[in-house]
Amino acid sequence: MSDAPRILLIGSDGQVGWELRRTLAPVGQVIAASLAGEHGPAIDLVDAGSVRRVFNEVAPDAVVNAAAYTAVDKAESDPEQAQAINGDALHLIGELAATYRIPVLHYSTDFVFSGQTERPYREDDAPQPLSVYGQTKLDGEQALLASGADALVLRTAWVYGVRGRNFLLTMLNLFRERTELRIVDDQIGTPTWSRMLAEVTALILHRVFTGDLEMERIRGLYHVTSSGATSWFGFAEAIRDLSGNPCALTPIPTSDYPAPARRPAYSVLDTRKFRDTFGLLLPDWRQSLALCLADLKG
């Protein structure tokens, strides 16, 4: 391409989208679309007309969708909205990407699995969501992959960062307010830094734009998380220790912390397909957490 490729970034104000605005900048011209429209065009994924209008106005060379309905517990009582954003909107995004013949990259979740296993989940393992959120995310990824578009779906897990609502920021706030906390210790997964997700996205798109990767060969479903695994209690311990906080932590079972939405007890994702395909190393979750906390401290 003679001109810089135009990248339509949907959900640019979320924790992953905020990082993508920076990591994608060297790759192409980023058009940052969000519901509020603070940094670019306003887009409402519930409104098909809004989505079509933004595609027509931007005429993108690629799309990255970082928007999602992520309120896991609220989704149990608000399934229509969750389905509209996480599921139905992906039908349309896939249709438009196929029409424009452009690549589209989208993020999904470990919550598509039931957690009833003792080994990391592979991409070809059968999904079995336990929650409305998990089901709507599964519907969205399946719709996108079936759309005929050159689509990449990156399933990830336990995303945290310096923006938005996430476990890291919640813990840091609670550490300032309390001297003792009880944290669930029987759910196992992999904390994943939003910046790492944004960085691998930028690297992939750069290689696609330069012709180093052919979308026909790489399109499909991939698991992308940091390496390693821990419990929410182990994650909280690491945050406490790395931040130098004296808060006392007590491990508890999920049954002691009831929530509207069921969570998978074990949702570690096998990332070998991603590493083999793209040749990118995924850092240990503790290493990324240390870098994120250093970033927060300035």
Residue 75's nearest CA partner among 87, 64, 66, 92 is: 87
- Residue 164: its pLDDT value, please? 86
Query: Can you name the CATH fold of 6-164+191-226+267-283?
Result: Rossmann fold (3.40.50)
pLDDT over 50 (residue 259): yes
Mean pLDDT of all residues in 2-7? 86
User: Phi/psi class of residue 220: alpha, beta or left (left: φ > 0; alpha: ψ in -120 to 50)?
Assistant: left
Mean pLDDT of all residues in 4-12? 96
DSSP 25-67: TTTSEEEEEBSS-SSS-B--TT-HHHHHHHHHHH--SEEEE--
Q: Is 133 an annotated catalytic residue?
A: yes
In whole angstroms, what is the distance from residue 233 CA to residue 191 CA? 12
- Residue 3: its pLDDT value, please? 83
Asked whether the beta carbons of 137 and 90 are under 8 A apart, the reply is no
**pLDDT per residue over 45-80, tens digit each?**
999 999 999 999 999 999 999 999 999 999 999 999
pLDDT over 50 (residue 2): no
Higher pLDDT, 297 or 275: 275
Of these residues, 69, 107, 121, 133, which one is catalytic? 133
**pLDDT per residue over 223-232, tens digit each?**
999 999 999 9
Question: For residue 87, what are the CA distances in angstroms to 13, 16, 19?
Answer: 20, 19, 24
At residue 260 the predicted structure's pLDDT band, cuts being 50, 70 and 90, is: very high
pLDDT over 50 (residue 1): no
146, amino acid identity? A
- Residue 87: its pLDDT value, please? 97
Higher pLDDT, 216 or 120: 120
- Residue 62: its pLDDT value, please? 97
Question: For residue 19, what are the CA distances in angstroms to 39, 160, 211?
Answer: 14, 11, 24
Question: Could you give the residue ranges of the DSSP H alpha helices within the chain?
Answer: 15-23, 48-58, 79-83, 89-100, 132-145, 167-177, 194-209, 215-218, 232-243, 272-278, 285-297
Q: What percent of the chain has pLDDT over 70?
A: 99
**pLDDT per residue over 140-159, tens digit each?**
999 999 999 999 999 999 99
Asked whether the beta carbons of 78 and 125 are under 8 A apart, the reply is no
- Residue 36: its pLDDT value, please? 87
Locate the domains of the chain by residue range. 6-164+191-226+267-283
Question: For residue 242, what are the CA distances in angstroms to 175, 245, 246?
Answer: 12, 8, 11
Asked whether the beta carbons of 273 and 122 are under 8 A apart, the reply is yes
- Residue 176: its pLDDT value, please? 93
Tell me the helices (H) and strands (E) count for the chain, helix number first. 11, 12
